């Protein structure tokens, strides 16, 4: 152990105290031994250090910080160096704000387009997500502070995220949902990792020894700190045994006592506690050095310009009929849409950043050179229909050469804690588009949202520019692309299906009661669409440019592929070349192609560049459930170079020697997985893939409610008071949405409706302890007066102990 001598000086109580927060955002300190507290802050795309005391949770405004494009946006740049640069600037601001640990980036897979937190995640592909995340981590940690990769693992829905049991097979777990974490840990060398709320195959993630010990600590050799998501600790001792050092936020010493009692009784070996303390101390001291050298200030303007540069390189041009873009000199444009006046530039929930500067489209026209004849709001931001706004917009559109229509999703549609109900753009915006098309067909849509949407209206637009959520400088970045000052180079890091029903997890998302079944297995995103032959609107890796690129002269060697890219257009630009690999053996079921490398290259007009993409340890591997390790299947592999997953430009075969592992599957028992058409998998076949029977997926309404049952389950509680509470909460949610307070309604769903009972204790900072919670459960289970007496008794006892 690195801090053995220091740990030997600690009392058992002091060791235990370090394992839980001091308050909502700080860790415990031990002044007599010179151990300082750490400050942790949300920060996937900007520092969110709340401007309130650290003992308050809330979702209050943070100290002003640069709001960079969200990671879902930056993923479209496919530029790991750019991600590293964002990380460096995030790290610098973390040092300025005395933050030790930046809670990000989030690298969960975009399994389903309706996940409410997709705007905080990179991609549907683990290789791209892992490489981008590693860049962020290197950048953040170059400043002496720590990144905290999250949420480990298989956290792919927001609904019931604190209690849902994700059910999936081992191979899918390894290849799809853990690979990004593996890359982030091995290549990014992250010092901290956040465990997820959910269960994984029956065991809470932070207590899952297979996940935390066998894989994370054992196979990957991770020696850093694991931190719970806020309120994500279920059984403290089980979490500690699994190697989950830090529980956040504080429990006011309640779980510290559990640890002390467990060591004293012999239930927990003190050496296990010492190892956890040692790893946490390393994070405290190494990040403490950065805080002691805090910078007096940071260059706000320079950071803003960097945010703009990142946004420019991440914007995706999806449609450009008749070369309507870039806008020709002298063209008069009408600017329409509420998002033009008030930019939609970030997500909602725990990642909200208070920007230092905020660009809006209407304030940036003069420097862009684009001639605007005026602006109209066109639609109400939160979906209410308004014919007058549409009429006003049509009046100005008829006078313009080109209509710039700013559409998208509002702030409360994409939010931490809730999933989207639909993939559609709000109907009032589509009504506006329909009306504008009748007046002026030269429409360019500028889309602002952090996740995939359906576009049945796309035939009515000539241009489509997707800015995603471009941060505080995103509005100016979009104008620079529209004007032609910047040649767009972004490509989609996720597939856009024609309709939601086409998605492979359509029938299985979200898990509603006890379980979320990942019946589609390996086949998420393009892995499904390409293998099953399902048409999509825009494929993974797709993006247009104001120039054209030709590919030629492929040469495949055992350790690399080399080829030539030529800029055959008239302007300089950047091209993202993508390496896909597909095995032709057919013995082990696999997607038709999988991303195994990529590179982004700047090429002048008329210039050619020779490009090499190396192979690595992930190029040919698959996880074998019989040998329980990574293997290579012998056979011919298609080495494909594409401009997108659906636009393969070059292809060669390469024979690869295998590791000789036995075939782990019986083709006749898994026909759906061998075909890739996994949109409807029967129970028997999914059980065959799992190697076990399916767990019960519905609530047992005959049992009393317990710690891990949610407030939503009070609808069938034995106690009248609990049922009444459920109906009051449901009414409050309906009323808040009806009266336009959708953000508060979302917060109610996240922090109350889907909260397990134990969360009342874990998230209140010691205001309600577990014995008091026992009283609340008695009330919920029909023993009102006994439960009330117990609650009051335990509350008085707690207050007396603290007096």
pLDDT confidence bin for 625, thresholds 50/70/90:
very high
End-to-end CA distance of the chain: 38
Contact at 8 Å (CB) between 582 and 593?
yes
CA-closest candidate to residue 287, choices 112, 148, 124: 148
- Only one residue has tokens 């001291």, namely 285
Predicted local distance difference test score (pLDDT) of residue 59: 54
Mean pLDDT score, 128-150? 97
Which residue(s) pair with 408 in the sheet?
A: 448
**Average pLDDT for residues 121-148, to the nearest whole number?**
97
Whether residue 53 is predicted with pLDDT greater than 60 in this model: the reply is no
> Residue 595 phi/psi, 5° resolution?
-65, 130
Tell me what the mean pLDDT of segment 130-159 comes to.
97
| Average pLDDT in the chain | 94
Question: Which residue is catalytic, options 229, 410, 502, 530?
Answer: 229
Residue 357 has pLDDT above 90, yes or no: yes
Residue 417: pLDDT band (50, 70, 90) is: confident
User: Is pLDDT above 60 for 292?
Assistant: no
Provide the CATH topology of domain 308-494.
Rossmann fold (3.40.50)
Report which of 167, 188, 264 is spatially closest to residue 681, judged by C-alpha positions.
Answer: 167
589-622 residue pLDDT tens: 999 999 999 999 999 999 999 999 999 999 999 9
CATH assignment, 4-292: 3.20.20.300
User: Would you list the DSSP string of 484-534?
Assistant: TSS------SS-EESSGGGSTTGGG-S--SSEEE-TTTT--THHHHHHHT-
294 pLDDT tier (thresholds 50, 70, 90):
low
CA angle 72, 76, 80 (to 5 degrees): 95
- Helix or strand holding residue 277 (H, E): helix 270-292
Portion of the chain with pLDDT greater than 70, in percent: 98
Q: For the chain, how are helix, strand and coil distributed in percent, rounded to 5? A: 35, 20, 45
pLDDT 10s digits, 368-378: 889 999 999 99
pLDDT of residue 26: 95
pLDDT in tens, 637-661: 999 999 999 999 999 999 999 999 9
- Which of 201, 185, 183 is CA-nearest to residue 126? 183
pLDDT at residue 293 above 70?
no
Q: What is the pLDDT of residue 57?
A: 52
Q: What local confidence, expressed as pLDDT, does residue 563 receive?
A: 98
Average pLDDT over residues 676-686: 97
Span 299-331, pLDDT tens digits: 999 999 999 999 999 999 999 999 999 999 889
Mean pLDDT over residues 575-581, rounded? 98
Q: How far apart are CA 736 and CA 749, in angstroms?
A: 11
Paired strand residues for 641: 579, 650
**Over the stretch 18-37, which tens digit does the pLDDT of each residue have?**
999 999 999 999 999 999 99
Q: How high is the pLDDT of residue 112?
A: 97
Minimal CA–CA distance to 643: which of 570, 547, 532, 559?
547
- Using 50, 70 and 90 to split pLDDT, how confident is the model at 50? confident
Residue indicated by tokens 């529209």: 482
Residue 51 above 70 pLDDT?
Answer: no
Check residue 397 and give its pLDDT. 97
Give every strand in the sheet of 515-517, ordered side by side.
Answer: 203-204, 199-200, 165-167, 515-517
> Which whole number is the average pLDDT over 743-753?
87
Gap between the Cα atoms of 160 and 750, Å rounded: 8
Contacts 24+ apart (CB under 8 A), 757-763: 757/705, 757/706, 757/707, 757/708, 757/709, 757/710, 757/711, 758/234, 758/707, 758/708, 759/162, 759/231, 761/251, 761/254, 762/231, 762/232, 762/233, 762/251, 763/57, 763/230, 763/231, 763/249
Share of the chain above pLDDT 90, in %: 89
For residue 565, give the 3-state DSSP assignment: strand
The ranges of the chain annotated as CATH 3.40.50.1700 are 308-494
User: Taking the CB of residue 320, how many other CB atoms lie within 10 A of it?
Assistant: 18
Averaged pLDDT, 756-760: 92
For residue 616, indicate whether it is catalytic.
no
Task: Quickly count: other Cβ atoms within 10 Å of residue 143's Cβ.
Answer: 22
Say yes or no to pLDDT of 54 above 60: no
Tell me what pLDDT residue 629 has. 97
> 547-664, which class in CATH?
mainly beta
Q: Please, which pLDDT band fits residue 186 given cuts at 50, 70 and 90?
A: very high
pLDDT of 176 higher than 90: yes
Q: Is 236's pLDDT higher than 60?
A: yes
Outline which parts of the chain fall under CATH 2.60.40.10: 547-664
Query: Where along the chain do the CATH 3.20.20.300 domains lie?
Result: 4-292
pLDDT tens, 57-115?
555 667 899 999 999 999 999 999 999 999 999 999 999 999 999 999 999 999 999 99
């Amino acid at each position: 152990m690195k801090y053995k001598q220091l740990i030997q000086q600690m009392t058992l109580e002091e060791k235990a105290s370090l394992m839980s927060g001091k308050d909502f955002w700080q860790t415990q300190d031990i002044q007599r031994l010179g151990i300082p507290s750490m400050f942790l802050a949300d920060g996937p795309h900007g520092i969110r250090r709340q401007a309130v005391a650290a003992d308050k949770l809330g979702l209050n405004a943070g100290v002003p910080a640069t709001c960079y494009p969200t990671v879902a946006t930056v993923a479209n740049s496919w530029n790991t160096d750019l991600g590293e640069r964002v990380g460096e600037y995030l790290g610098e601001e973390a040092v300025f704000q005395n933050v030790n640990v930046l809670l990000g980036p989030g690298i969960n897979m975009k399994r389903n387009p309706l996940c409410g937190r997709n705007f905080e995640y990179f991609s549907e592909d683990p290789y791209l997500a892992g490489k981008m995340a590693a860049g962020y981590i290197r950048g953040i940690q170059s400043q002496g502070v720590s990144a905290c990769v999250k949420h480990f693992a298989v956290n792919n829905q927001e609904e019931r995220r604190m209690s849902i049991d994700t059910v999936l097979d081992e191979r899918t777990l390894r290849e799809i949902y853990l690979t990004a974490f593996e890359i982030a840990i091995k290549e990014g060398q992250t010092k901290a990792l956040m465990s997820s709320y959910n269960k994984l195959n029956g065991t809470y993630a932070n207590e899952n020894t297979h996940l935390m010990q066998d894989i994370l600590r054992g196979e990957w050799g991770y020696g850093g700190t694991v931190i719970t998501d806020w309120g994500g600790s279920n059984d403290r001792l089980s979490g500690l045994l699994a190697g989950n050092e830090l529980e956040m936020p504080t429990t006011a010493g309640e779980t510290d006592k559990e640890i002390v009692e467990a060591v004293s009784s012999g239930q927990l070996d003190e050496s296990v506690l010492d190892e956890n303390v040692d790893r946490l101390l390393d994070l405290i001291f190494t990040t403490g050095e950065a805080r002691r050298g805090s910078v007096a200030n940071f260059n706000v303007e320079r950071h803003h310009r960097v945010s703009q540069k990142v946004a420019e390189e991440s914007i995706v041009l999806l449609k450009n009929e008749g070369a309507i873009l870039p806008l020709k000199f002298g063209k008069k444009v009408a600017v329409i849409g509420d998002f033009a006046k008030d930019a939609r530039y970030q997500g909602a929930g725990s990642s909200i950043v208070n920007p230092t500067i905020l660009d809006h489209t209407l304030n940036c026209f003069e420097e862009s050179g684009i001639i605007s004849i005026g602006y109209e709001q066109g639609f109400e931001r939160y979906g209410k229909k308004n014919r007058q706004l549409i009429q006003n917009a049509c009046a100005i559109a008829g006078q313009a050469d080109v209509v710039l229509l700013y559409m998208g999703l509002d702030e409360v549609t994409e939010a931490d804690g809730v999933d989207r109900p639909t993939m559609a753009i709000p109907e009032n915006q589509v009504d506006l588009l329909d009306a504008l098309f009748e007046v002026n067909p030269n429409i360019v849509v500028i889309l602002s949202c952090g996740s995939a949407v359906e576009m049945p209206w796309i035939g009515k637009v000539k241009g489509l520019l997707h800015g995603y959520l471009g941060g505080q400088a995103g509005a100016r970045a979009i104008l620079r692309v529209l004007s032609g000052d910047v040649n767009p180079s972004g490509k989609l890091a996720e597939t856009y299906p024609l309709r939601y029903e086409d998605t492979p997890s359509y029938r299985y998302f979200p898990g509603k009661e006890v379980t979320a079944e990942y019946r589609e297995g390996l086949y998420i995103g393009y892995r499904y669409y390409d293998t099953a032959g399902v048409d999509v609107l825009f494929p993974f890796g797709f993006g247009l440019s104001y120039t054209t690129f030709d590919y030629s002269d492929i040469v495949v060697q055992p350790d690399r592929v080399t080829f030539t890219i030529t800029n055959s257009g008239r302007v300089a630009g950047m091209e993202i070349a993508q390496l896909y690999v597909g095995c032709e053996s057919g013995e082990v079921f696999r997607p038709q192609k999988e991303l195994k490398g990529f590179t982004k290259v700047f090429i002048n007009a008329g210039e050619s560049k020779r490009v090499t993409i190396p192979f690595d340890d992930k190029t040919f591997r698959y996880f074998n459930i019989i040998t329980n390790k990574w293997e290579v299947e012998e056979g011919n592999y298609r080495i494909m170079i594409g401009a997108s997953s659906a636009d393969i430009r070059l292809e060669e075969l390469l024979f690869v020697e295998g590791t000789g592992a036995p075939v782990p599957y019986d083709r006749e028992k898994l026909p759906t997985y061998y075909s890739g058409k996994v949109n409807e998998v029967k129970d028997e076949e999914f059980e065959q893939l799992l190697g076990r029977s399916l767990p019960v997926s519905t609530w047992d309404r005959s049992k009393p409610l317990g710690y891990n049952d949610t407030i939503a389950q009070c609808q069938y509680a034995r106690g009248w008071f609990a049922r009444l509470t459920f109906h009051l909460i449901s009414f409050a949610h309906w009323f808040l949405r009806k009266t336009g307070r959708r953000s508060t309604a979302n917060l109610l769903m996240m922090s109350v409706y889907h909260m397990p009972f134990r969360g009342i204790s874990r998230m209140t900072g010691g205001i309600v302890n577990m014995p008091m919670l026992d009283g609340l459960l008695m009330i919920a289970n029909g023993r009102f007066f006994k439960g009330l007496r117990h609650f009051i008794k335990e509350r008085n006892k707690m207050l007396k102990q603290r007096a």
